[in-house]
Amino acid sequence: MTDNKTQRLRRSGTLNPHPEKVIDPLFLDSEFFDPRDLLQVRYEMVRRAEQASLHETAKNFGASVPTCVRARKAFREGGLQALISQRRGPRGPHKITAEILAFVEEYRTHHGPVGSRQLVALIAERFDVKIHPRGLERARAQAQKKTIRQ
């Protein structure tokens, strides 16, 4: 069972996946310092790294030395907000634009159900973009989900 704070941390993307690795005395038996709060852990780690060795600091806060170094740099360059990890990689299909999806839907409206392999060939011919059939299927499914939600 998760409590309210755990749910809020999860929603905000700041839930520490390994709070048990935080062994710094500041977080042991404290009502204020919570090892589940990744932002708080990272901030205190950055502060501690100014006074102690990186190796010892990283160990006490359940992080690697490279993570500690990156956190220090991120904090210097972007402040507290920069300590929150950002999702890596693409944020969605970058080749399949709204224009391509509109073309696909219009084509299917006029020609009936058409398979992804045939659609991919038509897209390549018309837009000069090479797309994998499965990528097109996923993009269409995602677009339909968005339409249903609205």
Q: What is the CA radius of gyration of the chain?
A: 23
Domains of the chain: which residue ranges? 8-83, 98-142
Distance CA 148, CA 150 (A): 6
Q: pLDDT digits over 19-50, tens only?
A: 999 999 999 988 899 999 999 999 999 999 99
- Residue-wise pLDDT for 61-87, tens only, equals 999 999 999 999 999 999 999 998 776
User: What was the pLDDT predicted at 2?
Assistant: 65
Helix (H, G, I), strand (E, B) or coil at 33: coil
Q: Residue 92 pLDDT > 80, yes or no?
A: no
CB 41 within 8 A of CB 62: yes
Cα angle, residue 6 at apex, residues 81 and 69 outer, rounded to 5°: 35
Determine contact, residues 33/40, Cβ cutoff 8 Å. Answer: yes
Q: What is the mean pLDDT of the chain?
A: 90
Q: Measured between alpha carbons, how far is 61 from 45 in angstroms, rounded to an integer?
A: 6
